[in-house]
Structure 1
Amino acid sequence: MADYTMRIKLAPDVLAYIDRGNVYRDSEQLDRAASDYGEAIRVAPSDARGWRNRGMIRLYLGDNKGGLADYDKALQYDPADGFSWNNRGQAKMRLGDTKGAIADFRKALELKPGLQTAQEALRKLGAL
């Protein structure tokens, strides 16, 4: 953690914030992780990684609308990321948008054939 903090102090780039955010995430300090991912977004707003990582934390915290918004942005910058399609589908499913969730899970499977979480969600929704 100290190394990442020093790296941010010396050269605050997107990867420095994402790396430290990942350490916070792994140690279940989710608010701090979300904050670092937010800084990654501030430093590089068109880099999907900050949006994608913060979206995941928002979903963990039950902020499905915030997660959905972050995944919308992540997919704007990286539409080929199957995991972002899957996670946006999870947010939509939790928010009651069944049709949108099904479309996102299908897109996730198109990009990542065999993605188990997308297959399970489609089964749960009666669409597989």
Structure 2
Amino acid sequence: MNAYQYVVLRLVPRVDREEFINVGVVLYSQDVAFLDAAWELDDARAAALCPTCDLDGVRSMLDRVRAVCRGETGRGLPTLEKQGQRFGWIIAPRSTVVQPGPVHGGLCDDPDVELQRLLELLVRA
């Protein structure tokens, strides 16, 4: 079993109202050098929360989180060599439309399978 930490990514279109829907998950396992993000944006749910939300912009932000997980740089992305540094950057609190929730932990055999399980449980359900 491998220890891991994860955060749920939230769409918070109006920070002042503190309303959100879950749109993604980032999972980090130092045990097996795994850091990745998976996301799914339900347009209907997002529009119900905020009809004027720029969903293409949200998708772009979610893609940027995945790019940071994978160590991509340039285009305004941070240059962070270690996975732990990149996870720390992702989980840092921010007042933007896409925000990380609290950090949680668990154990799994396969982090990629666990990431997909958490996406199904916490975002799609």
User: Comparing both chains, which one has the higher relative contact order based on Cα–Cα distances under 8 Å and sequence gaps of 6 or more?
Assistant: 2
TM bracket (short chain) = under 0.3
- Flag the structure with higher strand content: 2
Larger radius of gyration: 1
Per the normalisation by structure 1, the TM-score is 0.25
- Flag the structure with higher helix content: 1
Per the normalisation by structure 2, the TM-score is 0.26
